[in-house]
Amino acid sequence: MSMSETFQNRMRDLYQSFIKFDALQSNRIQRYRNIEPDSALFLAMQIRMQQSKSVLEIGTSTGYSTLWLANAVQISSGRITTLEIDPARTQQAQQYAQELELDGVIDFWVGDAQAFLESDEQQYDFILLDAERDAYIDYWPYLQKLLHPQHGVIFVDNVISHAGEVKQFIEIVKSDARFMTMTLSIGAGLFMICYK
């Protein structure tokens, strides 16, 4: 499927239903916290332009970003692996993926992302980091190992909306001379990391 009108309309409806759900939750952890539509579109465009073959997403939630990334990666003949600690959310995301015929390019993984990152040996062209921000510093050594040294890129969401919570992580990355970084004012703020 290319980026059809059916896909875009369904994504718009899904986003509205997630926003409504989140508005009813008083507890932050219960909210789905899906990425902004602008960010999802931008990231999907990156995958299309980079022709990414191996994509990793940390934080599936109900799959809003996953579906956008999967739509792009299907066109670039690649695959996406997405990690989520809550099996109910993964199940929900899986249903939408089946409905949109994107399940064939998505590997859903349920568990603590830290365990996946510690054991995975693959190299990724594209990584989206969108989970619990206080874990990012612990993920960082593994992300460096998994990121393709020539053309790999990591995007971290919420670096403007929750700047204080990612401050230390951003400082660690920025102070490492082996990396190029950039903060993009898209959606909640995307931080971009590549090897020099």
Ligand X SMILES: C[S@@+](CC[C@H](N)C(=O)[O-])C[C@H]1O[C@@H](n2cnc3c(N)ncnc32)[C@H](O)[C@@H]1O
Q: Should residue 11 be labelled a site residue for ligand X when binding is judged by CB under 6 A? A: no
Q: Should residue 54 be labelled a site residue for ligand X when binding is judged by CB under 6 A? A: no
Q: Should residue 83 be labelled a site residue for ligand X when binding is judged by CB under 6 A? A: yes
CB of 180 to ligand X, least distance (A): 24
CB of 72 to ligand X, least distance (A): 14
User: What are the residues facing 82 on neighbouring strands?
Assistant: 57, 108
Question: Binder to ligand X among 46, 61, 90, 92 (CB under 6 A)?
Answer: 61
CB of 95 to ligand X, least distance (A): 14
3-state SS assignment for residue 54: strand
CB of 161 to ligand X, least distance (A): 11
- How far is it, in rounded angstroms, from Cα 171 to Cα 140? 12
- How far is it, in rounded angstroms, from Cα 139 to Cα 58? 10
- How far is it, in rounded angstroms, from Cα 172 to Cα 155? 15
How, if at all, do strands 126-129 and 153-157 pair? parallel
Instruction: Pull the structure tokens for residue 143.
Output: 């992300």
The residues that touch ligand X, with contacts defined as CB under 6 A, are 33-35, 59, 61, 64-65, 83-86, 89, 112-113, 130-132, 135
